[in-house]
Amino acid sequence: MTDNKDNRQVSLLIIYTGGTIGMVQDQETGTLKPFRFDNIIEEVPELKKFGFSLSTYAFDPPLDSSNINPALWIKLSGIIEDNYEGFNGFIILHGTDTMAYSASALSFMLENLGKPVIFTGSQLPIGSVRTDSKENLISSIEIAAATRNYRPVVPEVGVFFENQLYRGNRTTKNSTEHFRAFLSGNYPALAESGVHIRYNYGAIRYPEKNKPFVVHKKLNNDIALLKLFPGISRQFVESVFNTAGLQAVIMETFGSGNAPEDEWFMNCIQNALGKGIIILNVTQCKIGIVEMGIYETSRKLCEAGVISGHDITTEAAVTKLMHLTGLSTDREWIKRQLGTSLRGEITC
């Protein structure tokens, strides 16, 4: 059960970065345009029933999520840092295409987070008759405001979509068609909304007591993503590993972490590792875990010094490496951190 609290004491900040959720149809032209978020109550009058104090911050101009980059993650983390003491929780409205990347990035940047930061969006604009945006927004607000024993129920970065709240760094976009656009293949939902919102308390992370909330704003994007496929060429693999300034590579392998045994391929791997490039092995599967050594095709990677990504998503792997290589140039420290669950992103 959550606490019975005077709703007037609850203060939430809604941050609109862009995306379909913030669009309405122009009555004259029929085209979609962003609405003014300081008038959000007019678009979603149901929010009045909560009685919460709702403030808004809108990016101007709003960004298509395909244009989101690390500079915007730094801006988002700064907005939360500047407003952290003044609000009980935060809702970030974001386009769906890169939402899993942004949620993963914020999870690493906001260390020892003690308040909800809930990402949500929609597949249809808020002005559409069949829109999913109102339900996603209303439920995200209710979750961000929820307390238990007078503390936030979900003090972590989450993604809410179509009745499910997932840990942000466990999500990946799974559909462009269905309202349930996201999948958390290796970790259960933190909450599920129906007639009531049911919280999975055992799955939720809580901040460490007596440790401060810290915001990290250094990100390094000198990394690469190498997705293996049958017939991948030597020239292509070499070109990736020979990228100037490259510090780390996320290598998407087959199944439980398997890769070709061709001599040229293993030479590429060994040469890259010899130059100090970190290689993180992540499975291409949406569900499952990298287990190097079960098959001969992964044993050689393990012996060479490739690091297992366990059950991390590609989105979390990318942003975790940006975070770690932004914090330090110590390769051995970074490798140890990759094998550690920093924000619940891997199952240990």
Which sequence positions are flagged as catalytic? 20
Q: Which residues make Cβ contacts (< 8 Å) with residue 160, sequence separation at least 6?
A: 118, 119, 120, 136, 139, 140, 143, 166, 191
Nearest by Cα to 12 from 49, 42, 52: 52
Nearest by Cα to 258 from 308, 224, 305, 223: 308
Nearest by Cα to 151 from 90, 93, 107, 89: 89
Q: How far are the Cα atoms of 234, 254, 255 from residue 230, in angstroms, in the given order?
A: 12, 10, 13
- Where do runs of H (alpha helix) occur along the chain? 40-43, 70-83, 99-109, 133-145, 234-241, 263-274, 296-304, 314-327, 331-338
The length of the chain in residues reads: 348
Tokens at 15, concatenated: 């941050």
d(CA 200, CA 204): 7
Helices first, then strands: H and E counts in the chain = 9, 20
d(CA 38, CA 321): 36
- Where do runs of H (alpha helix) occur along 115-164? 133-145
Q: Are the beta carbons of 312 and 187 closer than 8 angstroms?
A: no
Residue 317 φ/ψ, nearest 5 degrees: -65, -45
